[in-house]
Chain A
Amino acid sequence: MAQDTFYDAIVVGTGITGGWAAKELTEKGLKTLVLDRGRDVKHGDYPTATKDLWELPYGGRATDEDLQRQAVTARSGHLTQASKHWFVDDTEHPYTEIQRFDWIRGYHVGGRSIMWGRHCYRWSDIDFGANAQDGIGVDWPVRYAEIAPWYDYVESFIGVSGRAEGLPQLPDGKFLPPMELNCVETHLQQTMADKFQRKLTIGRVAHLTAPLAHSPQRGTCQYRNLCIRGCPYGAYFSSNSSTLPAAEATGNMTLRPNSIVYELIYDDKQRRATGVRVIDTKTNEHLEFNAKVIFLCASTFASTHIMLNSVSPRFPNGFGNDSGELGCNIMDNHLHVGATAVEEGFQDRYYFGNRPNDAYVPRYRNLGGEKRDYVRGFGYQGNASRLGWPRLLLDSPFGAAVKTEAAKPGPWYVKLDGFGEILPNHANRVTLDQTRKDKWGLPLLAFDAQLRENELKMRKDMADDAAEMLEAAGFSDVRTFDREIGVGLGIHEMGTARMGKDPKTSVLNKWNQVHACPNVYVTDGSFMASSACQNPSLTYMAFTARAVDHAVAALKKMSVE
């Protein structure tokens, strides 16, 4: 098949940010090549989406072979018969763990926008100003006022359900109607407000609780809570259901799956990137594609991998790496720490529909002048639900009583799971492991990152505060938990090509452009200069749309001159 090799723009990756870059570039009239290393997935092409419970083999559980092939994914707890096809075979896509590192990946068109958690929270100036205030990392070169219109823009397009709360640390957005808390969550909300002056709100999630006129292919949420399988209704935002169809509709997109980008081509004379080098995984051919502007949206470590692997006389240490910060400052949200409890009351209350959402407790620590023995803060995602048949395993019902007891909804089980900020630290880094190659001959990534003193101190509060709030609500059997995790398990990886004001200490400028090569934009999580504790995808989307706007204006200016 003959294929053009010159485009106005190239987008590497089709996940949350690649989809956005593709939509924005093509809608602004640029002929755009969109590359993904994995197989194509069209909206609706979700093989397990409508399977009934009894159609899943093994009661839905991963088999021994699944656990061996997808051992890293299994660490996340997301590996089931309904979801396993969205996650990589870790034996085929290895990486080096200098310290335990949890890199949970999906290699297909749409990327992790199919399996993501869908929570969408704005940052505030408390977050954008934190590095400057604490003297940690580099100052963000932007503030909230500059990003707010882009938050408006992406929220309006993707559809975010939520409730306005008027909190300075968690700005309100353009919300579709909120989902409902259940009785026990509402009780917890009241005691938290009364006794601690802390908020609990319904999660803000990219689900349509009302139709969106501009995306008629997307339906409203049916409350199946089987989102990880892919939504046949298009009710939650994914690249496949939303941005890629929009890009496709322009006629300006060429989507090329099965294409591993392994290098950026740099032209020393023009001082610009002229294109990308690609391995076609079907034919093993090495190909080149050229464009005026390149958007790296391959996911934080994949984009960093490409940059580290793009070595030239101008960039001997990796593309745009004059600062030496490329690959450094790995951040994530640290989690799996909090508390659980049981509530024996509310026996005559239940719920209808499987809410694909949690309750959310916005950050409250180190605000308003409070100073803990750590900086920054954390939020919680949590919920209450009535226990089902698994509670009977270690309980007396045996024989016919198993059926009668299982039919009765059990006591309420309540959980608050923390999501904490990780500070940028130069020593938390990823490098190329030149001693090990993947099956295409590319060096593997080697991860060396850990939770440090600030995060570990914070985790104590994350467990103790949760227990204290659950106790105060009058729940019984309150237990804290603090699971051993690797960095990466939050699946919010970021920071390895951070933006900043000074090219000596950062890789990107405030427009997500590589300081030393302005026609390359990096807009996945790698640009983040700090992590905050809010789920980051909404922020990635806002910066991506803003970066495309900037790139298109810059291209126009160039053609005028």
Chain B
Amino acid sequence: MNRRELLQRVAWLMGGTVATPAVLAVLNGCSRTPGTGAPLVLDEAQRALIAEVAEIIIPRTDTPGAQDVGVPRFIAAMLQDAFSSEEQQSFISGLQDFEMAAQRAHGKLFLQLSQSQRVAFARKLHDDIVAEAKARLKLQRGWRKLEGQSAVPVGELRAVKKRLRAMLGSQAQRPARPFILTMKELTLLGYFTSEVGATQILQYLPVPGRQQGCIPLREAGNGKTWALETSYRF
């Protein structure tokens, strides 16, 4: 792990919310600085890598996978139109970091690895991130408990947090989330808002026609999660 990666990890670990800088700026009431307007052009290798990682995140089983439902195309559209230019840049540099990490680990490009090596490599990155996220959550919960008790010497923790913040610069410069996590977000969003994801994996009822507040799970349609439009922003 190089220094930049380390800083990203730490920043992300200490970051609190996981909204991207542009979203944070909007939520905080700032106007956005319009982007450079330069279109994002993915080269063929990048497109292939994105498609492969999406399929690893949601593979074809007895039901269709990410590629079957057009997730790579969805991700390209999101990058092109929904991301700000700084989010695009951060995504591309994350993708490059991902390639460099594959090089360091295996001496090969990601797409030159065997299928099982690719899956193991992507899964390891993902699992490390999730472990960090869970550790962070634990830290936050602990923090909230500590804050409720005035006798606890939290000064030292605060000082550490402050030092880290100073090291990492302002909130606006905080690095974006790791590539694998952005890929997971986009893959899940694209997949579960697709017709296949909504109707075959989840259950989708466009016009329920009635409302029941509290029923046994098995009586709620087929008992699967209801597919809903979500405004959820990670």
Contacts and interface: CB of A to CB of B under 8 A. Distances in A.
B215 A349 contact: yes
A406 B201 contact: yes
Contacts of A180: 211-214
Contacts of B87: 64
Nearest to A65: B81
Contacts of A57: 77
Interface stretch (B41-49, B154-162, B184-192): B184-192
A64 B34 CA distance: 9
Interface string A159-185: 000000000000000000001111101
B210 A63 contact: no
B204 A53 contact: yes
Interface stretch (A73-81, A297-305, A311-319, A495-503): A73-81
A59 B225 contact: no
Contacts of A440: none
B26 A183 contact: no
Contact of B215 (A53, A186, A350, A483): A350
A402 B188 contact: yes
Interface stretch (A18-26, A262-270, A382-390, A451-459): A382-390
Nearest to B86: A64
Interface in A55-87: 56-65, 67-68, 71, 74-75, 77, 80, 82
22 contacts: A52-B195, A54-B195, A59-B190, A64-B81, A64-B82, A179-B211, A180-B213, A224-B206, A347-B217, A351-B214, A353-B211, A354-B226, A354-B228, A386-B225, A388-B227, A394-B130, A396-B127, A398-B122, A398-B126, A399-B57, A403-B61, A407-B225
Interface string A342-354: 0000011111111
A409 B29 contact: no
Contacts of B133: 394
B108 interface: no
A62 B20 CA distance: 14
Interface in B23-64: 26-29, 31-32, 34-35, 56-59, 61, 63
A147 B189 CA distance: 48
B74 interface: yes
Contact of B209 (A185, A222, A408, A483): A222
A399 B59 contact: yes
A479 interface: yes
B9 interface: no
A59 B193 contact: yes
A405 to B, nearest CB: 9
A57 B194 CA distance: 10
Closest 10 CB pairs of A and B: A180-B213, A353-B211, A350-B220, A353-B208, A183-B214, A352-B212, A59-B193, A182-B213, A394-B133, A223-B208
Contacts of B213: 179-183, 185-186, 351, 355
Given A53-B195, A398-B127, 16 more contacts: A54-B195, A56-B229, A59-B74, A61-B82, A64-B83, A77-B231, A224-B206, A224-B208, A351-B215, A354-B228, A355-B213, A386-B225, A388-B226, A403-B61, A406-B192, A409-B225
Contact of A400 (B59, B127, B195, B228): B59
Contacts of A145: none
B109 interface: no
B144 interface: yes
B158 to A, nearest CB: 19
Nearest to A90: B31
B84 A64 contact: yes
Contacts of A62: 82
B171 to A, nearest CB: 13
A324 interface: no
B101 interface: no
A182 B27 CA distance: 31
A395 interface: yes
Contacts, number: 207
A400 B63 CA distance: 10
Nearest to B64: A403
Given A395-B130, A403-B61, A353 B82 contact: no
A350 B217 contact: yes
B124 to A, nearest CB: 10
A393 interface: yes
Interface string B114-146: 000001001100110010011000000100100
A351 B195 CA distance: 22
A474 to B, nearest CB: 17
B217 A58 contact: no
Given A186-B214, A398-B57, A52 B82 contact: no
B128 to A, nearest CB: 11
Contacts of A63: 81-82
Contacts of A74: 26-27
B181 A393 contact: yes
Interface in A319-360: 347-355
B221 interface: yes
B26 A408 contact: no
A425 to B, nearest CB: 21
Contacts of A102: 29
Nearest to A221: B211
Q: Which of A71, A484, A486 has the most CB of B within 10 A?
A: A71
